[in-house]
Amino acid sequence: MHQSVFSLSATVTLRECNSTFRLTIVYEPSQSNTKRAFLQEIASLKPPPGIRWLVLGDFNLIRQAADKNNSNINPTLMAHFQSTLNSCELKEIHLQNRKFTWSNERLRPTLVRLDRVFCNTGWDTLFENHVLQALSSSISDHCPLLLSNTSGPGRPKTFRFESFWTKMPGFLETLPLSPHVSFAPLNTANIVLIPKKEGADRVQDYRPISLIHGLGKWIAKTLALQVAPFLDNLVSQAQSAFIKMRSIHDNFLFVRNLVRRLHCSRTPTLFLKLDIAKAFDSVRWDYLLDLLQKRGFPLRWTNWIVALLNSASSRVLLNGIPGKVITHGRGLRQGDPLSPFLFILAIDPIQRLLEVATDTGALARMQDRFARLKTSIYADDAAIFINPSASEIHITSQILSNFGMVSGLHTNFLKSKVLPISCDHLDLNSVLQDFPAIRSTFPIKYLGLPLTYKRLHRVDY
């Protein structure tokens, strides 16, 4: 047994399983001038590699702002606390049934999470069925905690990447020395189905949420940060999603103002509001990689994209247990920090195809002298203005069809709409024969806002 200023440590031996671990019980007084010394003491108690370690007690510190019910916090101490935990390779054991563990028991109480339990990976692996619960706090301002190990077989433990591993000596040197280790286990995603409504009993009633592996997400984030500054020069001005200094409001104002000017000038026009079927899920990888090469992306950066795409897999979590591995053949994972940037690069050629068709005379230019573009794209929401002629509808339909075949981004005509502007004198039935979208009228919702050429009323919102 070893006693220090703020802690008491002992070696615990379990005869049943012939295992041992290091137990450290801490108590940090509430005085501010002792907190740094307290954290230094914890860091000094870190055992040698291979020894299981459990640390618990009243820390009198918080890790994040959510650990307290008011804004009276010390960000510097929070950062120092987290840094100490990282250096000690400790992770917190989740408290199941309570958020705070201490109250000052006043009329408007201050609630704080002061009592905590931490362990290292060795202890967590030995006691894989551990459960931490809060007990009644009727006789104290602190909430007692009960740490137990449930009996029976436990759930299969999923691998979790710890951020402090990257700071350990030799981490970066070790990665290139492991060519025989597949990247695939580090690029998995667990899919959780969240019900959209009460009593959900169909697949359509659930919303899938993808929980991507920490290391795969870290690599994707690094690649995303590298490409983000160049997107403004790479992507057409018609697209404003996910690009710094561009806004969804730019798209809406452009479309709204153009619709109103065309209506006021009585210029016959067709407004096509397109829906891309399962946009993120249907991008073809061969098309995307060929596009990146043609746009001049570095080979090393592109190879990382290839590695991320080819190694990606998903599993559906059912009652917390991962199911069979689902390998991917196309599409971009939602929740991946790189996916939005890859998607807007993938959909950008549709704007350029329409520009080429306009430059060659296949499509007429906009008669509105203020409109530089005839398209507006926000992520997978596309809007196109064309003349109400059968030839332009046919050419536009061919462009969309060919683009869909090459890229995998097909137009869903069942959800797409055609809205005539000043076309009352035209026979649109013959004009729209090659474009089987829904014919609609203003007002409609565009990018979540009501769009019309008339004055809006309350019922339109």
H/E element, 3: strand 2-3
- Checking if the pLDDT of 163 tops 70, the result is no
- Checking if the pLDDT of 191 tops 80, the result is yes
Closest by alpha carbon to 27, among 140, 114, 138?
A: 114
**Which is it for strands 375-378 and 381-386: parallel, antiparallel or unpaired?**
antiparallel
Least confident range of 42-51, 338-347, 402-411, 448-457: 448-457
Q: Which residues pair with 53 in a beta bridge?
A: 22
Q: Read off the pLDDT of each residue in 157-173 and give the average, rounded to a whole number.
A: 65
- Checking if the pLDDT of 86 tops 90, the result is yes
Confidence of residue 29 (pLDDT cuts 50, 70, 90): confident
Q: How far is CA 412 from CA 87, 382, 435, in A?
A: 52, 12, 11
Tens digit of each residue's pLDDT (9 = 90 or more) over 228-283:
999 999 998 888 888 888 888 888 998 999 999 999 999 999 999 999 988 888 99
Of residues 123 and 317, more confidence is placed in: 123
In the prediction, which pLDDT does 152 show?
42
Least confident range of 162-171, 188-197, 302-311: 162-171
In the prediction, which pLDDT does 81 show?
93
- Checking if the pLDDT of 42 tops 90, the result is yes
Most confident of 116-130, 133-147, 206-220: 116-130
Of residues 153 and 42, more confidence is placed in: 42
- CA atoms of 198 and 400, how far apart (whole Å): 39
Tens digit of each residue's pLDDT (9 = 90 or more) over 361-375:
899 887 655 555 688
What structural domains does the chain harbor?
2-154 (3.60.10.10), 184-230+286-329 (no CATH), 235-281+345-460 (3.30.70)
Q: Read off the pLDDT of each residue in 424-436 and give the average, rounded to a whole number.
A: 88
H/E element, 29: none
H/E element, 251: helix 248-264
- Checking if the pLDDT of 47 tops 70, the result is yes
Least confident range of 71-85, 417-431, 446-460: 446-460
- Checking if the pLDDT of 54 tops 90, the result is yes
Tens digit of each residue's pLDDT (9 = 90 or more) over 62-80:
999 889 988 888 989 999 9
Kindly calculate the radius of gyration of the chain based on its CA atoms and give it in whole angstroms.
30
In the prediction, which pLDDT does 160 show?
65
Task: Dig out the tokens for 155 from the structure.
Answer: 């759930």
Q: Would you give the DSSP letter of residue 66?
A: G
- CA atoms of 366 and 357, how far apart (whole Å): 13
- CA atoms of 231 and 233, how far apart (whole Å): 5
Give the mean pLDDT of the chain.
86
Q: Read off the pLDDT of each residue in 139-158 and give the average, rounded to a whole number.
A: 70
C-beta separation of 143 from 115 below 8 A: yes
- Checking if the pLDDT of 418 tops 60, the result is yes
In the prediction, which pLDDT does 154 show?
45
Q: Read off the pLDDT of each residue in 123-152 and give the average, rounded to a whole number.
A: 82
**Which is it for strands 417-421 and 438-439: parallel, antiparallel or unpaired?**
parallel
In the prediction, which pLDDT does 153 show?
40
- CA atoms of 60 and 37, how far apart (whole Å): 13
